[in-house]
């Protein structure tokens, strides 16, 4: 770790994203997802599982008011945890109780976070007014002592922090903080920020290394990185210390979760295995393999990276690097998806990356981007940005329909609809996107990520602007007491042309430009001299005496790539994936007919890259010579027959961008194709 290398994301308020590709996604989120989400939080979506989120806050607020009037400490416990408090027969006439998942509060927090980001790019007084109203409802539920989780406020505060392992209490706090910080940074309004800080103060008084304080930590991580954000906006060390405490405490023996759940205690190795799920099997500084629930894992690793950076913790940073390599080099799908098994929505063993039973949760890839950005902050190495880009354009975008109206939790690389309907082992693999989920994590997570895409595009240190992703945008960066203005236009993801206009006269402004892995080192730069450029760790550093206006023209070569997996990946043996630039391609039945498993790529064949559109969205598709294997020895009604070398019928394969699949109805899809 070299402190002088650290960089931080730019404020979204200092930039305008006007990228052809991403602006369109942001608009879909702004126009479709955010309003839809608000309707969902208020049970106003026909046919979707009611969230009861806002209603839970209202009920908690009402009881809060009554409680104060009656001068009670808290209402009588009615507490009975079922993980999900079943919904009322008639959603229009529910009782004054808590409904939904124990983490239902976080639906609001994710929404307000997305709203905050969106307002930085598209001011919208009407939306802001709705948000302020929602914040009032949420804050009215906060207890005098600062506690703010409606599940316990309504069901009985006596059980607070008694089930950290399963009850997502600190998870809800984490999301509340993230939402509050985002909304504050976007609008300057601090009502929710103060509420979140008071909840964090409550937690900080309860948990900590000091004698008598609880030695627990979150069962579902996120508080770790959220508290760091809260620290960075408030500068209150208490929050940094609490985050560090959670990270230091995790995985210590005896296991905190064993103390909390004596009934579940098992012996030795078996016990460790149980805590793989929560990454609590070992102290984090001893962890070197990504295991367990994938979303929890990358949320934890993100928090670890934050703490490593802020506390100069070399050992912790080394664990982050090992865990990164474990994921990126042994456990990541080519789409940037992570989580090879649906059991525990978790990482499988190294190189176990089944395509048709993949979990590859949208949220996990989003968390991977969080982690990548934080690793970039510590050390600008393109290996992080390459993965970040891969995940963004593929395993994450695939989570949302092109019209923003339906969503995937699970992002498989191969789908046979019949299997999804008939094989319980594949019930988690949906052949078409769903409207909304009772457990609504992926859609709002997508909303908050896409709306804040600029925080992943750029990071900065004193004199340097790091460009990790190329997207059309305008920004201003402070260099000393001067401004450097940068305007970028980009043809990504469809072509490798990028133009960067810089106005940085009389500054020591340094521009650090990522050289994408997919260009194979083939790129050209016009507008600067050789001696003004140097390469390091996959970044092109431009240091020069800037004039009134300098215009750099970059061209990154964007060849069609046939990729293969490490031979240890059994599921991909004898197969290739088609990539171009940041885009992973796939075959769909609608373009190529049934039985995609009988198709083969001809590696020596011709191909064409064509402008096309899918559901009105401009894309480039790939048409490539291939084969359909024909079995001439087959006898009907015979399951097995004597082998005969197959005949190969020449066919044109049509590949479409993976993120666009399943937008044209239910059908077969395949990323890894026989070669």
Closest CA to 518 of 536, 496, 485: 496
**Minimum distance, C-beta of residue 349 to its own copies, in the bound complex (Å):** 4
**Residue 567 is a binding residue for its own copies (CB under 8 A):** yes
Give backbone dihedrals phi and psi of 414, rounded to 5 degrees, phi first.
Answer: -155, 130
Any contact of residue 84 with its own copies (CB under 8 A)?
no
Nearer to its own copies, 43 or 386 (CB): 386
308: tokens are 């490593």
- Contact between 341 and its own copies by CB under 8 A: the answer reads yes
DSSP 148-180: --HHHHHH-GGGTTS-TTTS-HHHHHHHHHHHH
Alpha carbon distance, N-terminus to C-terminus of the chain: 43
Question: Degrees (nearest 5) of the Cα angle 482, 484, 489?
Answer: 170
Contact between 205 and its own copies by CB under 8 A: the answer reads no
Tell me the window of 38-46, 340-348, 429-437, 463-471 that interacts with its own copies (CB under 8 A).
340-348
Tokens of 554: 């970059």
616 contacts its own copies (rule: CB under 8 A): no
User: Binding to its own copies by residue 643, rule CB under 8 A?
Assistant: yes
What's the gap between Cα 292 and its chain centre? Answer: 17
Peptide linkage before 584 cis (omega within 30 of 0): no
What's the token pair of residue 219?
A: 């069962």
Stretch that binds its own copies, among 87-95, 263-271, 293-301, 632-640 (CB under 8 A): 632-640
| Residue 407 to residue 444: CA distance in whole angstroms | 10
Task: Find the binding residues for its own copies in span 28-67 (CB under 8 A).
Answer: none
Kindly state whether residue 469 participates in binding its own copies, applying the rule CB under 8 A: no
Residue 100 per-residue DSSP state: E
129 lies in the site for its own copies, by CB under 8 A: no
Cβ closer to its own copies: 629 or 651?
629
Cβ count near 608 (within 10 Å): 11
Please, which contacts does 227-236 make with residues 24 or more away whose CB atoms are closer than 8 Å?
227/174, 227/177, 227/200, 228/303, 228/306, 228/307, 228/310, 229/177, 229/178, 229/181, 230/177, 230/180, 230/181, 230/196, 230/197, 230/200, 231/310, 233/181, 233/184, 233/185, 233/193, 234/193, 234/197, 236/197
Q: Are 176 and 196 in contact (CB under 8 A)?
A: yes
Query: At closest approach, how far in Å is the CB of 586 from its own copies?
Result: 15
Residue 522 near its own copies by CB under 8 A: no
Q: How many angstroms separate the Cα of 205 from the Cα of each of 30, 202, 217, 219?
A: 38, 5, 14, 19
- Yes or no: say if 185 and 12 are a contact pair by the CB < 8 Å rule: yes
Window contacting its own copies (CB under 8 A); options: 114-122, 192-200, 405-413, 633-641: 633-641
Considering the rule CB under 8 A, would residue 349 count as an interface residue with its own copies? yes
Which are the contacts of 512, defined by CB distance < 8 A and separation ≥ 6?
A: 380, 464, 465, 466, 467, 539, 540, 541, 542
Residue 163 in contact with its own copies, rule: CB under 8 A: no
Give the residue, chosen from 334, 492, 558, 656, that forms a contact with its own copies under the rule CB under 8 A. 334
Which CB atom, from 536 or from 641, has the smaller least distance to its own copies?
Answer: 641
Which distant-in-sequence residues (6+ apart) come within 8 Å of 532 by Cβ?
542, 543, 544
Those residues whose C-beta lies under 8 Å from the C-beta of residue 320, and which sit 6 or more positions away, are 301, 304, 305, 308, 371, 375
Select 24 or 329, whichever has its Cβ closest to its own copies: 329
Tell the smallest beta-carbon distance from residue 521 to its own copies (Å): 12
Q: Is 455 in the site for its own copies (CB under 8 A)?
A: no
Stretch that binds its own copies, among 41-49, 178-186, 257-265, 339-347 (CB under 8 A): 339-347
Task: Please identify, using beta-carbon distances, which residue of 264 and 566 lies nearer to its own copies.
Answer: 566
How many of the other CB atoms lie within 10 Å of CB of 209? 11
Q: Which is nearer to its own copies, 227 or 415 (CB)?
A: 415
**Smallest distance, its own copies to C-beta of residue 607, A:** 13
* Among 144, 566, 613, 647, interactor with its own copies by CB under 8 A: 566
- Of 529 and 638, which has the nearer Cβ to its own copies? 638
As a whole number of angstroms, the distance between CA 533 and CA 512 comes to 10
Q: Which is nearer to its own copies, 259 or 635 (CB)?
A: 635
Shorter beta-carbon distance to its own copies: residue 32 or 289? 289
569 scored as a contact of its own copies (CB under 8 A): yes
How far is it, in rounded angstroms, from Cα 382 to Cα 379? 9
- Euclidean distance between CA atoms 146 and 149, whole angstroms: 10
Q: 196 with 178: CB under 8 angstroms?
A: no
Which residues lie below 8 Å from residue 157, measured CB to CB, with a gap of 6+? 73, 74, 143, 147
Cis, bond preceding 254 (omega within 30 deg of 0) = yes
Q: Going residue by residue from 389 to 428, which x/- string records binding to its own copies, judged by CB under 8 A?
A: ---------------------------x-xx--xxxx---
Say whether residue 603 binds its own copies (CB under 8 A): yes
Tell which one of 482, 549, 553, 568 touches its own copies (CB under 8 A): 568
> Judged by CB under 8 A, does residue 521 bind its own copies?
no
- Shortest distance in whole angstroms from residue 651 CB to its own copies: 15
Tell me: does residue 357 bind its own copies (CB under 8 A).
Answer: yes
Binding region for its own copies (CB under 8 A) out of 295-303, 474-482, 526-534, 625-633:
625-633
Is residue 629 involved in binding its own copies (CB under 8 A)?
yes
Q: Does 640 bind its own copies (CB under 8 A)?
A: yes
Identify the bridge partners of residue 84 per DSSP, sorted by sequence position: 101
Task: Pick from 641, 649, 650, 665 the residue near its own copies by CB under 8 A.
Answer: 641
Check residue 586 for interaction with its own copies (CB under 8 A). Answer: no
The tally of CA atoms less than 13 A away on the side-chain side of residue 513 is 25
Which of 313, 330, 460, 550 contacts its own copies by CB under 8 A? 330
Q: Kindly tell me which residue out of 73, 545, 615, 633 binds its own copies, with binding defined by CB under 8 A.
A: 633
Residues labelled as active-site residues? 345, 441
**Alpha carbons 366 and 370: distance in angstroms, whole number:** 7
Residue placing its CB nearer to its own copies in the complex, 212 or 640: 640
Across 99-256, the runs of DSSP E, i.e. the strands, are 100-101
Least distance (Å) from its own copies to the CB of residue 604? Answer: 9
Chain-centroid distance, C-alpha 420: 25
- By CB under 8 A, which span of 224-232, 262-270, 528-536, 631-639 interacts with its own copies? 631-639
- The single residue among 439, 487, 533, 675 that binds its own copies, judged by CB under 8 A, is 675
Q: How many residues bind its own copies (CB under 8 A)?
A: 53
Verify binding: residue 548, its own copies, rule CB under 8 A.
no
Site stretch for its own copies (CB under 8 A), options 41-49, 103-111, 548-556, 627-635 = 627-635
Interface pick for its own copies out of 66, 535, 595, 649 (rule CB under 8 A): 595
Q: How many residues does the chain have?
A: 675
| CB of 105 or CB of 414, closer to its own copies | 414
Contact 180, 111 (CB under 8 A): no
Contact residues toward its own copies (CB under 8 A) are 325, 328-330, 332, 334, 341, 343-344, 348-349, 352, 357, 416, 418-419, 422-425, 561-570, 573-574, 576-577, 595, 597-598, 603, 629, 631, 633-634, 637-645, 674-675
């Amino acid at each position: 770790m070299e402190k002088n290398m650290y960089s931080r994301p730019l404020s979204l308020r200092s930039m305008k994203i006007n990228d052809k590709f991403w602006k369109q996604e942001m608009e879909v989120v702004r126009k479709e997802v955010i309003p839809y989400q608000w309707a969902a939080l208020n049970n106003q979506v026909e046919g979707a599982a009611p969230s009861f989120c806002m209603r839970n806050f209202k009920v908690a607020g009402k009881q809060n008011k009554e409680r104060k009037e009656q001068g009670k400490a808290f209402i009588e416990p009615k507490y009975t945890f079922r993980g999900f408090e079943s919904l009322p027969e008639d959603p229009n006439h529910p009782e004054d109780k808590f409904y939904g998942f124990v983490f239902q509060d976080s639906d609001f927090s994710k929404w307000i976070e997305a709203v905050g980001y969106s307002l930085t790019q598209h001011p919208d007084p009407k939306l802001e007014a709705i948000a302020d109203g929602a914040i009032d409802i949420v804050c009215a539920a906060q207890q005098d002592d600062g506690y703010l989780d409606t599940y316990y406020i309504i069901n009985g505060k006596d059980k607070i922090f008694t089930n950290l392992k399963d009850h997502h209490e600190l998870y809800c706090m984490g999301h509340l903080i993230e939402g509050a910080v985002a909304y504050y940074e976007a609008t300057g309004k601090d009502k929710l920020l103060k509420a979140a800080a008071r909840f964090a103060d409550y937690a900080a008084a309860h948990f900590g290394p000091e004698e008598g304080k609880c030695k627990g930590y979150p069962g579902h991580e996120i508080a770790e990185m959220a508290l760091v954000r809260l620290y960075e906006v408030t500068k209150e060390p208490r929050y940094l210390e609490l985050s560090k405490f959670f990270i230091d405490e995790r995985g210590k023996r005896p296991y905190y979760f064993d103390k909390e759940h004596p009934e579940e205690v098992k012996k030795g190795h078996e016990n460790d295995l149980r805590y793989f799920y929560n990454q609590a099997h070992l102290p984090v500084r001893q962890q070197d393999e990504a295991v367990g629930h994938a979303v929890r894992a990358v949320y934890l690793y993100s928090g670890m990276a934050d703490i490593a950076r802020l506390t100069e913790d070399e050992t912790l940073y080394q664990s982050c690097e090992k865990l990164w390599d474990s994921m990126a080099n042994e456990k990541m799908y080519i789409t940037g998806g992570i989580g090879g098994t649906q059991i525990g929505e978790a990482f499988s063993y190294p190189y176990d990356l089944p395509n048709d039973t993949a979990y590859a949760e949208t949220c996990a890839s989003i968390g991977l981007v969080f982690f990548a950005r934080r690793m970039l902050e510590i050390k600008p190495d393109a290996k992080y940005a390459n993965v970040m880009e891969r995940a963004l354009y593929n395993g994450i975008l695939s989570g949302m329909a092109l019209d923003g109206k339906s969503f995937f939790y699970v992002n498989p690389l191969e789908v046979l609809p019949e299997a999804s309907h008939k094989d319980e082992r594949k019930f988690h693999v949906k052949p078409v996107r769903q409207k909304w989920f009772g457990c609504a994590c992926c859609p709002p997570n997508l909303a908050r990520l896409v709306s804040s895409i600029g925080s992943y595009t750029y990071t900065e240190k004193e004199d340097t602007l790091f460009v990790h992703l190329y997207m059309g945008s305008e920004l201003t960066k402070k260099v000393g007491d001067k401004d450097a203005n940068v305007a970028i236009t980009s043809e990504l993801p469809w072509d490798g042309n990028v133009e960067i206009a810089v106005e940085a006269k009389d500054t020591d402004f340094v521009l650090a430009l990522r050289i994408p892995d997919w260009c194979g080192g083939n790129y050209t730069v016009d507008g600067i001299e050789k001696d003004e450029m140097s390469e390091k760790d996959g970044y092109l550093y431009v240091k020069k005496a800037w004039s009134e206006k300098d215009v750099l023209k970059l061209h990154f070569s964007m060849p069609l790539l046939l990729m293969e997996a490490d031979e240890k990946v059994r599921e991909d043996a004898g197969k290739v994936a088609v990539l171009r630039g940041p885009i992973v391609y796939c075959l769909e039945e609608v373009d190529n007919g049934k039985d995609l498993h009988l198709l083969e790529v001809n590696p020596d064949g011709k191909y064409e890259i064509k402008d096309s559109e899918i559901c009105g969205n401009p894309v480039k598709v790939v048409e490539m010579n291939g084969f359909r294997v024909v079995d001439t020895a087959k006898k009907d009604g015979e399951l097995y027959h004597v082998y005969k070398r197959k005949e190969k019928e020449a066919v044109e394969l049509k590949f479409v961008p993976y993120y666009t699949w399943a937008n044209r109805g239910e059908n077969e899809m395949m990323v890894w194709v026989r070669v």
